Structure 1
């Protein structure tokens, strides 16, 4: 694939969006999909929700000037080249199915059936989905829980080194950095170690798409030369939900054509031009204005962190994270706010903020709420959060019972009896009461949310300690996802 050097230079351009505008202004009479043909207005309620009529902008690749996602040759190819230049990658793929499809494509294009992949147990469910679809054999990095936050915030590089020595046939390493808490592993050292062993590094950087646009933020895995980096452009930059990017660095460990092939397999054959245009425009804005906008974000975030740290019964983590449990650095735009010292769970505070102050947080666990500050925030929005937190701190006295807010699961990895893929697709299964599943091989996931780390995956054996932990979480107000029975009374097991 050749690269037009001029197309990578002018970051003020939005070639794909420009092509869509041209097509919209000159649409012929349509006898093809979509059914609304750009002329039938949406239902009035839908139009009210949209804030206008989006149908004329809902163009498809049948339109003459609309470049096709799965075989880009014109405006979309140029947009992706601009994306690669803006983010510092050798090549960029635009995604319409979020980082979920990016993680799947990263793994499925580098790891084949029965090949091993080193991955954190604390991986997004899309990573587990990719293992199922690819037939890969996961080699888990056992979680090491931070003593205060009680989440495996970062990966132990020495543990990865041990696993590489124990498994000489590893095809790839998959890491998540930053995670939901905004905390990052030593990605540079992991890349150096992996590449020395001839192993590709795949990074779920869904929460770090903004990092490369400001020098005072931690370095993106793109700059650190990971092989495939997946970013949710919609999470921290402002493109439309479901739009994301997959970046490739040509280090010699990834077949870019294979990645494109897998993406064509996984993504819709009818890609949304609206989502793709959103990526094009967001890239342009960040490339031309990101430094200035993120400077404001960093100041807002640091001022908020300092203010929260002065509130009785609240704490917002910062530099003290670095160096503890392998934490290399953290994204300052994520506010990890401990609320459990007030005697309240993160779930409770999240509910209070929503119902009493009309504030929605990014995430909550038993001890914390997580708030994300982005380019959309202003002093007004941040001060609204700070005022609400101050009111909660003033009306809830600090307590000594915060240790009751614990989310740490049983130590050690579960025992695996059957390969994950084989258990997932097992046809001989049946459903039993959850309380009777001790000693059984599961056919479905058991994922406490939060923290979102699988307690058990298909093919693993449930033990009494797992059942006790499930009951503990439910009692504390957490939820369990992955089970077909949403009431959590039964579970499906494999007949062995």
Structure 2
């Protein structure tokens, strides 16, 4: 047997298998050889010549690990270390098959849409889906209808979807629904009832895709929510880099062991080839392999981390002016659990807008929060991490007292206030047809009522506010311009940074033959 071949699975070697990171180990063995590389990458895996700057900046170790694909002893042939790493990942998360993604969960979302497109075009998607799934809808030519999540209007927080809401959305779709795409956990840490939602989707003959980008750590400790892969979802996308410790841009797509698996597996394999690079980044894949190993073997570390989180939560709740909004999440009918590693903090006591606070924290205090709404600041804590929350609370207090002393909000801060989340316009044209339609750029003042060619999503968190084929509303224009003007805001897909212009379908009559 090849020295890098997977060990046979048995009770005796399960522990040894779980303790390995076969892809990362194989990469390390190659890096340790005294080899002459006359191949790509051009840096030659050492710091000589043109790679001198890279070596000075990153160190030669990272160069030696940058091994090209189709390399003997790593990923060339059958029963390779990469094959074993993928099998171990599928076992760890409870999947039938798993793919390593080096273009992030965005790649997984596009893969999912393309795979669905091989089986039918009717999809129901949560309105608060990530913009990359909307990209997939365009690529695959899908016909979407939407199910709205429960929304905490006071704080601008979108949660999840109830089974009843999903059932109604499926019934209202004019086509046979092939797939349902939902998001859980939410950007704020609310967890939906995946098992019940899977039952509703499957009753309708539709597969369930779960965007669990924020839930890669679920299922690895009894005090954490279960992995959606084990709750009946047919496809699950996870960003291991978000909380599970792998490098930025690394992620996973899991195929559930469900009745749809036989049809989905070949479609996903083709979609993977269409969306992945033919020069996948070896350090990114090694980081996924190592993150899986650490998750599987980190019960005690996660326990310690959860205890630290409890102290941090108590510190926030015990402060005079701030509280955690996640305590209210279970009052919403769609929420069955919360992710303890995401801390949504009510910052209204500061008298300042959350986007302003997020920007000032970074600029003045070197504290970087994940995202904000007008009333809420969301911070996250990685597994095994114990950051000093008092530093954050002290910074919030300083801004609060400074603002209270002046009894007014500075001009630049008041200008950054964000209006409430806008109601989406009507979908009047299939997204793919709108995307490829003849277009023109019009001033923002003339955009309301026109059909968007672009997917426009306020970042953070990246939820599309207008889709290709949707009518642009005046409130959406106002919302996106306010986000673009905020200190930490950005609108993905915009014609210009300030949202002074919008790209729209030139001939509105084109919509008449679309839907």
Would you say same fold, with TM above 0.5? Answer: yes
Bigger shift: residues 35-44 or 97-106: 35-44
Alpha-carbon distance in structure 1 between the residues aligned to 2:281 and 2:484: 39
The partner residue of 1:485 within 496, 506, 512 is 496
Asked if 1:5 is matched to 2:21, the reply is no
Matched residue, 2:367: 359
8 Å CA contact 1:8, 1:85 repeated in 2: no
Change in Cα spacing, 1:485 to 1:405, as seen in structure 2 (3 Å) is closer
8 Å CA contact 2:417, 2:482 repeated in 1: no
Asked if 1:88 is matched to 2:94, the reply is yes
The partner residue of 1:258 within 252, 267, 276 is 267
Aligned length: 489
Alpha-carbon distance in structure 1 between the residues aligned to 2:396 and 2:167: 43
Change in Cα spacing, 1:460 to 1:113, as seen in structure 2 (3 Å) is farther
The partner residue of 1:19 within 17, 26, 47 is 26
Q: Shift of the alpha carbon at 1:235? A: 0.8
Asked if 1:247 is matched to 2:230, the reply is no
Matched residue, 1:117: 123
Matched residue, 1:276: 285
Alpha-carbon distance in structure 1 between the residues aligned to 2:417 and 2:226: 33
Q: Shift of the alpha carbon at 1:281? A: 1.3
The partner residue of 1:319 within 315, 319, 327 is 327
Alpha-carbon distance in structure 2 between the residues aligned to 1:8 and 1:196: 36
Query: For structure 1, which runs of at least 5 residues remain unmatched after alignment?
Result: none
SS for the counterpart of 2:388 is: helix
The partner residue of 2:229 within 222, 225, 230 is 222
The partner residue of 2:420 within 389, 408, 421 is 408
Q: Shift of the alpha carbon at 1:44? A: 4.7
Change in Cα spacing, 1:297 to 1:494, as seen in structure 2 (3 Å) is same
Change in Cα spacing, 1:100 to 1:479, as seen in structure 2 (3 Å) is closer
Matched residue, 2:513: none
- Length-normalised TM-score, structure 1: 0.90
SS for the counterpart of 1:454 is: strand
Q: Shift of the alpha carbon at 1:384? A: 3.1
Alpha-carbon distance in structure 1 between the residues aligned to 2:480 and 2:490: 9
Q: Shift of the alpha carbon at 1:328? A: 2.1
Alpha-carbon distance in structure 1 between the residues aligned to 2:227 and 2:408: 39
Alpha-carbon distance in structure 2 between the residues aligned to 1:463 and 1:351: 28
SS for the counterpart of 1:213 is: coil
Query: For structure 2, which runs of at least 5 residues remain unmatched after alignment?
Result: 1-5, 508-515
Matched residue, 1:33: 40
Q: CA RMSD in A?
A: 2.8
Alpha-carbon distance in structure 2 between the residues aligned to 1:306 and 1:125: 35
Alpha-carbon distance in structure 1 between the residues aligned to 2:7 and 2:419: 49
8 Å CA contact 1:8, 1:81 repeated in 2: no
The partner residue of 2:468 within 458, 461, 468 is 458
Asked if 1:149 is matched to 2:161, the reply is no
Q: Deviations over 1:54-109 (max 9, x none)?
A: 222111234322205xx764111111111111122222111111111111112211
8 Å CA contact 2:162, 2:197 repeated in 1: no
Q: Deviations over 1:390-433 (max 9, x none)?
A: 544555559999x996642344x41222211111112x211121
